[in-house]
Structure 1
Amino acid sequence: MTEQNIQLQIDDINKKLDLILDEVYAQKQNRESMNDLMADLSIVGKDVFQNTVVQLDKAGVELDGETLASIGLRFLQNLDNINNLLEILESANDFVKDASPIVHQVGLTAIQKVNELDQKGYIEFFKELTNVLDNIITHFSIEDVRELAEKIVPILEMVKEITQPDMLESVHNAVVVYKNLETDDIPEYSIWKMMKEMNSPEMKKGMGFIMSFLKNLTAQQIKSKQEKK
């Protein structure tokens, strides 16, 4: 083995020794830092303990050693329950994080829908509808509402009959005829002219309708009175 190889090995050993010494020195510094930290914490802990004792003494609070030991024992016995509680809290926190975007989106959708309803006039409509309800409530008494409740069935029956197709057609025809009448320029009829018009097929049919209507109306009124008795 040449002197050069020996020197290289010595240099390599010196480098390794330097690394070992550096590591030992670093560990020594860590131990010293840890010892200093423990010493500082011990001093702080003593001060905190003494201050706590003084404050409890001033407040007239007495600590029972057995009670503290019992609390500590129960705390240790319920570590599993505490762990389960923490897991539940973590799950709840995860749920809130997952649900927050959904709730946010639902809120945005609701705001957008309300804005659409407002643009279409629904909000203003319901606002005015509340005024209508206010007028109804202030105009009618509780007794009126009770009477309406008793008569609501006949009223609905009447509405049902009015909304039948043939009835709606008759009402529509009457409205159309009235709309087409020139009320400002209605011709005058003498008795002779009226008698002459009564011989027309339209007037005969109209008179027949009126007579049939009055006859059936009277018969229905008599029938209703008999049913009430």
Structure 2
Amino acid sequence: MADQSIVALNQKIDALTAQVAYLADQAAIVERQRQDRAELVRDLTPIADQAFHLAIEQLEEVQEYIDLSDLLRLAKRLMRNGRNLEKILDQLESIADFSQTAAPIADEAFSKAINTLADLEQKGYFTFARGGRRIMDNIVTSFTEEDVDRLGDNVVLILNTVRDMTQPEIMNFVRSTLLVAEQEIEKPVDITYSGLLRQMRNPEVRRGLALTMRVMQVIGSQTQPTSS
């Protein structure tokens, strides 16, 4: 019986010792927190004093432009529009998130655009465009307003003429004629009567002369003589 009482007493002493140790630990924690707060206050006090004096100096500079009623009215508006301000902040956060997401895509697109422009420059597109601009400047400075009006009146006729001149048959004929002329122009030409007569024996020469005369006939028929 006495042994059981001693055991129970020892258990109570152990429990009391544990509680005392716990309270001591808690007291140490509270003391450390108090010291941390005191140290923080000591560190912030000079900063707060400096900020306070700076705020006073800045307010003194603008005090003639600020009215207390204006500040109160602004504060009321801010409080009334708290939800709107919160929505604006949410939108700004969404824009910031979108910017972070789109930044790599924009960088890649910008790099591709730079490479495309460099490729166009290397191929000569910009040089051609600058040359075309000079051509347009020359055209604009070379034609008067009356010339432009006449051009507008005859633009359909001009386009039809260009269309007819750019037919494959005409273009092939002109090209082949130029190629033959380039080859024949370097050769010696016999312009004596006998040489010309020999050439007249050539059927192709006679056909060419006949076609030339036919063209001259058409030109003559379309040219009306001026009445005196």
Give the TM-score of the pair, scaled to structure 2.
Answer: 0.72
Q: Deviations over 1:15-38 (max 9, x none)?
A: 343123322442355357557867
Aligned ranges 1:1-229 → 2 under 5 Å? 1=4, 7=10, 10-11=13-14, 13-27=16-30, 29-30=32-33, 34=37, 52=55, 56=59, 61=64, 64-134=67-137, 136=138, 140-143=142-145, 146=148, 147-190=150-193, 192-195=194-197, 197-221=199-223
1:79 positional shift? 0.6
Partner of 1:226: none
Give unmatched runs, 5+ long, in structure 2: none
Preserved contact between residue 190 and residue 196 of structure 2 (Cα < 8 Å): no
Alpha-carbon distance between aligned partners in 2 of 1:67 and 1:139, rounded to the nearest angstrom: 64
1:143 positional shift? 3.7
Give unmatched runs, 5+ long, in structure 1: 223-229
Preserved contact between residue 56 and residue 62 of structure 1 (Cα < 8 Å): no
| Distance change >3 Å, CA 42–CA 214, structure 1 → 2 | same
Alpha-carbon distance between aligned partners in 2 of 1:22 and 1:62, rounded to the nearest angstrom: 57
| Distance change >3 Å, CA 186–CA 4, structure 1 → 2 | farther
| Distance change >3 Å, CA 207–CA 167, structure 1 → 2 | same
Q: Deviations over 1:26-77 (max 9, x none)?
A: 2355357557867997997688667756764565527654443333222211
Give the TM-score of the pair, scaled to structure 1.
Answer: 0.72
Q: Deviations over 1:90-113 (max 9, x none)?
A: 111112111111111111111111
Partner of 1:227: none
Alpha-carbon distance between aligned partners in 1 of 2:127 and 2:94, rounded to the nearest angstrom: 44
| Distance change >3 Å, CA 143–CA 188, structure 1 → 2 | same
| Distance change >3 Å, CA 158–CA 82, structure 1 → 2 | same
1:81 positional shift? 0.7
